[in-house]
Structure 1
Amino acid sequence: MAIDPNFVNALSSLGAALIQLGEAQEAIYYCKKALAIDPNFVDALNNLGEGLAQLGENEEAITILRKAISLSPGYPVAHKNLSLKLLLSGDYENGLKEYEWRFHGKVRSKSFNLHAHPSSLKKWDGGSHCSGNRLVVIGEQGLGDILQFMRYIPYLRKRGMTVALCTVHTKLYGLIQASGIASELYSPEEVSQLTMGEWLPLLSLPMYLKVRPDNPLVRESYIKVPEERISYWKQKLSSEKRPIIGINWQGNAKAERGSTRGRSFPLETFTSLTEKTDASLLSLQKGSGSEQLAGCKFLDRFVGCQEEINQTWDFVETAAMMLNCDLIITMDTVVAHLAGGLGRPTWLLLKKFPDWRWGMEGDTTFWYPSMRLLRQRQRGNWQEVMDRTASALQQIVSSRQA
């Protein structure tokens, strides 16, 4: 831009880079500068829509993205971005249709990755749920996405279909099998050898099944754990005399960019909760973020077997621990979906402008009846959320002790 400050491609690209860094205000400035030169430059319109969405201007973002699509109807990134804004606003009918663009062009090569490509199978059109139909559901995206949307596989099986699941997340295999989710569980290599049946991406199921906030289809808990594992952790935790709260504070650090940036918070944010509530804590944190335990000021508040828990990474075991907790408090990561799928009382702490599945308002979610949403009132202010969480928990504990 030093050579040509009016080079619209450079201005728009700078806007896109700033969005990934969470610098939405500055990104909007450069996108608008590009559009002042070329009002119909679709890349700049798309990036402007993303910048506006980061600042919570969701409806304006939808308008801008629709303009980009009107100028370039086959522009997949704008369709994908529009889908997320529509879903966030609660428009599932149109949002899920637009969401099908996630596998087109550059969108597919980024975060919307299918776990397998069954070239020998026909893609299911959702038109028949007849007994005997064979369907292979192909997993996509992250661990939380698998746990949230695998609920629709038993729903189809109850209607007589034979439904298998394929995912690269082998660490979920034990939990999927224990829960009786799929007729069969395939690796990507095994799927490539299949010649019979039809297939569908996992996150396309809500569109074909017409899932809406007023039509969730599946509301009961669907993740199951062997009784002996529940009993094992019940015995391990039996010496705890106070209520047990499972906590999680950080997601995958590598994934915290763009729309997911800002969803995590430091472990020390829980300090006010420990000061206001007489409860034992159980850390569910694994990997990145767990190193904060070493210097934690309230380390003495964690359960006696915390060290064994830290060394236990299996999802079945983690689920069994959760079933022995009185409450789970977590940020938006796989822990939230595991707790919700188990039907455990869960308090989900959300940044001000959250992921599409949580909507923009309300303290409940149709995805998980046992879940309470506690939202940031000011962007980036996690302490206020935690203070509110601690006060609400204090009231509950006090009422039970009365």
Structure 2
Amino acid sequence: MNQSLKLALRRAQEPAFLHGYFSGVGLDIGAGSDPVSDYASLFPRIEQLFAWNVNERDVIYMDDAPADVLDFVHSDCLGRFDNPRQVLVRWLEFIKSGGYLILTLPVDPLSEQGISPTLTDVDHERTFTLHRPDVASAGSLNVLDLVNDASPVSSCERICLLREFGENRQEGSADRQHQAAAYAIEIVLRKRDVPRLFDLATAMPNAETDSAMLDLCHKTLRLYPYRLQTYFHINLELVRRGVHDRLEDLWDESVRRLPNERLPRLFNALMLIALGKLTEGFRRREALFDGADWRGRTTVAPPAYANWRGESLEGKSIVIWSEFGLGDEIFFFRFARIFRERHGAARVTVVCQAPLVELFRASGEAAAICSVEDAPQLPCHDYWVYPHAIPVWAPLDIDHLPDVVPYLRAGVEHTPMVLPGNAHALKVGVIFKGAPTHENDAARSLPSLSCLDPLFALEDVEFYIMQKGQGEDEAADYAARLRNVHDLGPRLRSFGDTAKLMNALDLIISVDTSAANLAGAMGRPLWLMLPMLGDWRWHLEREDSPWFPSARLFREKGRGWSEVVERIRLALIDLRNTR
């Protein structure tokens, strides 16, 4: 007789299962070749039982499963997962208040003498023990710890050790107890009446004081410690209120709770960088990519010679390799000069994406500039390095960064650009959208050029829209309607053209794009519109940039872009009146 049938027949004799636990609408997680639904007829109070096949569907996040609607969830596959605590509390979210989570767990063979290995599911990553850590196998989990961890959202109805007897036993044998073998642990948890994560997150901004907000954050973390969304919601509110001293601990906790997931460790690293802890932040970030396939960070295979890890560069040659976006490559191009002037490198070569080759060559900062397409033909160097790895091996102090700006410029062959409009007015360049493929574009780009209407109403200011890609149609429409708005996007065929235009402007107002990095690298006056949660390079709260001294940061603070635009409008009036 198979284990599922044996277990179902036993449970069908117990009133708690017959009239309580297995009642209403349920979900069987792990339904494979021997699903519990095959034996649902033994429990007449089951109205409907859905099956969730662990081999065919996601069982950890289950994003398409309904929350707070099920009367019970049953599973015998919790041992298949690296982080059973995370999975268990996720499953509890699908159960309505007062409903039940019924689990059958494989027993650790070392903790129960006499267990037959054939009774342990070979697919299980983990086994479980009833508080016998002295004899537990590596990776075995104490059931009492598991239940206690879920106690904020559930109460424990039952924990029992299921046993069976050897088939050759004799009834009434005095040695009957010693013939018994534990084969599973059964747990039944009852869902408490707890608020949903969405409701807690919605309440955070409405807390009247920081103290009340922090209490709500602690409650949310206690109820939903294994949901990555928990940390995003709390992070957002802490940043909005400027409570930055809690951010490092928050993301450290995310890594502790979700140790096998990449995103918590990535955001942990990025937060450290944003907080100004550059060396440790970049070190943790680089550890995520160590040993990973190069396709995750560049478009061309790096060379076979030595990857630089802090060795002396005195008299040596090094290649700074292409990595991630255009803005990243512009930002890290500063290290071409730093390697020469601070590390004594005899030759610095930079591999970059094709649109940047002309711009980088015009700077004169590197001995050679090579496009990714031509990178396989590069001569051998002593070392190569990814840009984001440089601060790991060349530590930086956020308060004393190398003075290298400007490190980009328009080519000397460029003639000054003549701009249309009032020659005596303040000349302001505008970039209001970034590339739509960027993972944070919905937050960093303005929804429409109309957000800037209060600026366009100012007198004695000429605006030059520098938009490429998305937003071009809007720019053309505004230029056709407004006398002081000019669409120069079609004239910008390269980053060299953009640099030439920036030289002719008094100010660039931009969202976070590669063009904004270019303005900063050229030392041109830059007013940057940032979302509340921006890129690490703009750090937190501050209105200046240690990386780009000519930049002034205007951050969205949870009140929408209109408030940011109003601050820019007032600053623009001051600049116009005092220039």
Instruction: Pick the TM interval, shorter chain.
Output: 0.7 to 0.9
Superposed displacement of residue 290, structure 1: 1.4
Superposed displacement of residue 341, structure 1: 0.7
Change (3 A) 1:31 1:90: farther
The question of 1:396 aligning with 2:575 is answered yes
CA RMSD of aligned residues (A): 3.4
The question of 1:312 aligning with 2:520 is answered no
Alignment check: 8 A CA contact 1:115 1:166 kept: no
Alignment check: 8 A CA contact 1:56 1:353 kept: no
Query: Superposition pairs for residues 2-401 of structure 1, below 5 Å?
Result: 3=27, 10=59, 12=61, 14=63, 34=90, 44-56=226-238, 62-70=248-256, 75-104=261-290, 113-131=297-315, 133-158=316-341, 159-167=344-352, 169-188=353-372, 190-193=374-377, 194-231=379-416, 233=417, 235-237=418-420, 240-255=423-438, 257=439, 259-265=440-446, 266-296=448-478, 299-303=482-486, 306=487, 309-379=489-559, 381-400=560-579
Q: Which one has the bigger helix percentage?
A: 1
Using the TM superposition, name which of 195-204 and 62-71 deviates more. 62-71
Instruction: Describe the superposition over 1:304-327 as per-residue Cα deviations: whole angstroms up to 9, x where unpaired.
Output: xx45x5232211111010010001
Alignment check: 8 A CA contact 1:49 1:61 kept: no
Using the TM superposition, name which of 358-367 and 76-85 deviates more. 76-85
Alpha-carbon distance in 1 for matches of 2:431, 2:518: 12
Where relative contact order (Cα < 8 A, 6+ residues apart) is larger, the structure is: 1
Superposed displacement of residue 171, structure 1: 0.8
Change (3 A) 1:340 1:173: same
Change (3 A) 1:318 1:93: same
Superposed displacement of residue 148, structure 1: 0.8
Structure 1: runs of 5+ lacking an equivalent: 16-29
Superposed displacement of residue 238, structure 1: 8.3
Superposed displacement of residue 335, structure 1: 1.5
- TM-score relative to the length of structure 1: 0.81
- TM-score relative to the length of structure 2: 0.58
* 2:573 partner amino acid: Q
Larger Rg, first or second structure (1 or 2): 2
* 1:53 partner amino acid: N
Alpha-carbon distance in 2 for matches of 1:190, 1:399: 49
Alpha-carbon distance in 1 for matches of 2:370, 2:321: 9
Structure 2: runs of 5+ lacking an equivalent: 1-24, 31-51, 65-85, 94-145, 151-223
Change (3 A) 1:52 1:106: farther
| Percent of residue pairs bearing the same amino acid type | 24
* 2:444 partner amino acid: R
Count of equivalent residues: 373
Change (3 A) 1:396 1:48: same
Alignment check: 8 A CA contact 1:88 1:359 kept: yes
Alignment check: 8 A CA contact 1:69 1:78 kept: yes
Alignment check: 8 A CA contact 1:363 1:373 kept: yes
SS at match of 1:214: coil
Using the TM superposition, name which of 94-103 and 240-249 deviates more. 94-103
Alignment check: 8 A CA contact 1:230 1:323 kept: no
Instruction: Describe the superposition over 1:85-136 as per-residue Cα deviations: whole angstroms up to 9, x where unpaired.
Output: 2112222232111110342588976xx51243224111111221202x1111
SS at match of 2:504: coil
SS at match of 2:350: strand
Change (3 A) 1:351 1:154: same
* 1:135 partner amino acid: I
Alpha-carbon distance in 1 for matches of 2:441, 2:233: 13
- 4+ residue runs of structure 1 moved beyond 6 angstroms? 5-8, 35-38, 105-108
Alpha-carbon distance in 1 for matches of 2:26, 2:517: 47
SS at match of 1:300: coil
